[in-house]
């Protein structure tokens, strides 16, 4: 009897497939569709700090010509109030229509906006909270230590007010991923979602306008996640979740083999439809049967850096071997 259950940040999931934050999870109806298709949990569409800031800036610009930082704080909170009720309602309704864990999601730039709001998210019934931390350093003289500290402050400020688990969804661009992973854990993250996929910017040379491209990921984008989950597995004391480029059952198996607790997916569902969840689950089950595994824990982490017989496959050495043409 094959059992696909996995534990993630203390939540018991019936299988490792979570639908990631996206328009698929923007409403209770969307959440129900994911649950009916076999997902073990959902991450709701994020409430975006950037959107709130854009809304309040438009509001402020139309009424006053300049404002002080305290005024900005005040109108930013007004913007949050304008968007918050609807978000809390989605959490409450999602909990009514499904019995799978519902993970709320906040897009965070500043370290204090969400401190109080996180409490309402918990009270609305969310099982956990994922922080989509989208700090984009643009200043030439910004101290890297301070940038990292800012990320940790976001996590600890939110975590200190709530008891539900908090996951940090991070991008892949840091000088030292192990250091940031450890710092996020110390700040209170129970899990790391690796990695966030950033908006793909582009330029239309005919129209001379800014555009975006490749809204959806491709399977070729998964290897960075595979590398870092493998390297961090059992090193930092928190759950790791694979995200970006996971499109089929084989990809999920690989993520579990390097040590992931679960995966988050959305592009493959936009491209192949919600039925893809069941296809992936069937493929995982069949592979487990062929290999003689009964539970996910029977093989989780088997191919991680720590447990692998060839750990250098996840390091630069293989790249050097490949480019100089030696085996
Ligand atoms: C249409 C769309 C909307 C998204 N909205 C959000 C969002 O609100 N918050 C967030 O953290 N990620 C958002 N994402 C990113 C996904 O959650 C995910 O991290 C990314 O697409 C990589 O996973 P994938 O390869 O399975 O697509 C969105 C992605 C797509 C395609």
DSSP string, 213-232: ---S--GGGGHHHHHHHHHH
Please calculate the CA angle 304-41-9 and round it to the nearest 5 degrees: 50
In the reported structure, the alpha carbon of residue 265 is separated from the centroid of ligand 1 by a whole-number distance in angstroms of: 8
Q: What is the mean pLDDT of the chain?
A: 89
Whole-structure pTM value:
0.90
**pLDDT, tens only, 31-81:** 999 999 999 999 999 998 766 666 555 655 555 555 556 555 655 555 566
* Separation CA 12–CA 129 (nearest Å): 15
Task: Report whether residue 15 contacts ligand 1, using a CB cutoff of 6 Å.
Answer: no
Per-residue pLDDT at 191: 98
The pLDDT-based confidence of 323 (bands split at 50, 70, 90) is low
Tell me whether strands 201-204 and 209-212 are parallel, antiparallel or unpaired. antiparallel
Given a cut of 70, is residue 324 above it in pLDDT? no
- Ligand 1 center to 214 CA (angstroms): 12
Position in ligand 1 atom list of the atom nearest CA 222: 25
Q: The dihedral of CA 97, 38, 159, 51: what is its sign?
A: negative
Atom of ligand 1 nearest to the CA of 195: 19
Percent of the chain clearing pLDDT 90 (strictly above): 75
pLDDT higher at 134 or 186: 186
Q: Does the structure show a pLDDT above 60 at 8?
A: yes
Instruction: Give the model's pLDDT for residue 81.
Output: 60
d(CA 209, CA 202): 9
Q: What is the mean pLDDT of residues 226-247?
A: 97
Rounded Cα gap, residues 75 and 129, in angstroms: 25
């Amino acid at each position: 009897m094959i059992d696909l259950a996995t534990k993630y940040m203390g939540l018991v999931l019936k299988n490792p497939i979570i639908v990631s934050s996206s328009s698929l999870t923007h409403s209770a109806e969307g959440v129900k569709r994911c649950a009916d298709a076999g997902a073990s949990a959902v991450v709701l569409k994020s409430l975006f700090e950037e959107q709130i800031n854009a809304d309040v800036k438009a509001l402020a610009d139309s009424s006053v010509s300049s404002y002080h930082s305290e005024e900005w704080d005040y109108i930013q909170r007004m913007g949050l109030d304008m968007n918050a009720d609807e978000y809390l309602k989605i959490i409450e309704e999602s909990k009514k229509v499904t019995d799978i864990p519902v993970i709320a999601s906040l897009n965070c730039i500043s370290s204090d906006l969400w401190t109080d709001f996180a409490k309402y998210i918990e009270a609305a019934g969310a099982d956990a909270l994922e922080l989509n931390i989208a700090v984009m350093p643009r200043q030439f003289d910004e101290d890297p230590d301070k940038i990292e500290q800012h990320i940790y402050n976001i996590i600890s400020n939110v975590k200190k007010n709530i008891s539900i688990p908090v996951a940090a969804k991070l991008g892949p661009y840091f000088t030292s991923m192990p250091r940031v992973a450890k710092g996020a854990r110390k700040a209170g993250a129970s899990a790391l979602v690796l990695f966030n996929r950033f908006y793909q910017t582009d330029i239309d040379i005919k129209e001379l306008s800014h555009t975006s491209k490749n809204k959806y990921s491709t399977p070729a984008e998964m290897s960075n996640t595979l590398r870092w989950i493998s390297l961090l597995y059992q090193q930092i004391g928190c759950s790791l979740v694979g995200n970006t480029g996971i499109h089929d059952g084989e990809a999920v198996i690989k993520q579990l083999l390097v040590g992931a607790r679960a995966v988050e997916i959305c592009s493959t569902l936009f491209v192949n439809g919600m039925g893809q969840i069941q296809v992936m689950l069937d493929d995982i089950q069949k592979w487990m049967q062929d290999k003689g595994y009964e539970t996910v824990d029977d093989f989780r982490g088997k191919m991680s850096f720590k447990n692998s017989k060839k750990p250098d496959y996840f390091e630069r050495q293989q790249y050097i071997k490949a480019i100089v043409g030696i085996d």
